[in-house]
Amino acid sequence: MADALDSGSSGSNPFRVQVPGSASTTPILTSRQNPLVKRIRQLHTAAGRRQQQALLLEGTHQLQEALGVQWPLTQVCCSPDWIARHPHLWAILDTQAIPTRIVGDGVLAALATTVSPDGVVAVAAYPEPRPAALHSLGVLAEQVQDPGNLGTLIRTCAAVGVDALLLSSGSVDWANPKVLRAAAGQALRVPIHPILDPIGYLGTLRPAGFQVIATVPTATTPYWAIDWTQPSLLVLGNEGAGLSEALLACADLHTQVPLQPGVESLNVAIVAAIILYEAKRQRAL
């Protein structure tokens, strides 16, 4: 489907390509000054994502994940070589009438944030704000600032099947392209909610029967000694500073992942994976 948002001819050139399923040739967009290119490049920044209420998906895998969960896509830009390598995906985009634009390698490099893009980027609609719904198992991360750690945490939450991942203020934007790449497309499979008042939110969980369990390196209770069959919220802290005193005071239980002497710490995503899979194990018994 031709891009409805790029009505001008700015940046079009005589280069055209034959695409599968079409009897005519399609122009290749080669100018980085095209309004569509400028608009998508704004998604490299948090301000641009907030303004457009959209996020940038890079690469074939993220596109496949979005299609797999039927996430609304408002634009796909790809190279002729990508179409040749993925005719089945091109056919799906055409069947679903998703706006597409074929672009040259220089434009694709400008649209992507990676050094070597694999031929496709997509613009996805930002999820509509809604209250976090916890039924059995959730995760609250306080000021997790490393994109790789947050992406891996998101991927872990999706793998375990948590109800939601809650992020305090001061955390890296979950829609940051680096986070999305580290999450390997799984950010579209787990509900993610920024929480402005974590302490106030914790107060709403106890009437629902939830236990709040904080990870603390100095805790005396190992994670496997916790009864994770109860409705639980796992609270994880910043990579360097750990949890704030205010959140620690709100927790019902403190727990730790025991380490060998001399080992200072594990990163937050690894701690989460160890504990969440123990919860999953207990619930399977």
Tens of pLDDT along the chain (285 residues) come to 544 344 344 444 556 565 665 545 678 999 999 999 999 999 999 999 999 999 999 999 999 999 999 999 999 999 999 999 999 999 999 999 999 999 999 999 999 999 889 999 999 999 887 778 899 999 999 999 999 999 999 999 999 999 999 999 999 999 999 999 999 999 999 999 999 999 999 989 989 899 999 999 889 999 999 999 999 999 999 877 889 999 999 999 999 999 998 888 889 999 999 999 999 999 998
Q: Domain limits of the chain?
A: 12-125, 137-284
Q: Give which of 146, 142, 139, 140 is closest to 176, Cα–Cα.
A: 146
CA distance 239 to 127: 27
Residues 130 and 263: beta-carbon distance below 8 Å: no
As a residue count, the chain comes to 285
The CATH-assigned architecture of domain 137-284 is 3-Layer(aba) Sandwich (3.40)
Q: Give which of 255, 251, 250 is closest to 220, Cα–Cα.
A: 255
The topology (CATH level 3) of 12-125 is: 60s Ribosomal Protein L30; Chain: A; (3.30.1330)
Q: Do domains 12-125 and 137-284 have the same CATH topology?
A: no
pLDDT at position 5 is 40
To the nearest 10 degrees (0 to 180), the angle between helices 87-95 and 60-68 is 40
Q: Give which of 250, 238, 239 is closest to 201, Cα–Cα.
A: 250
- Other residues' Cβ atoms within 10 Å of the Cβ of residue 187: 29
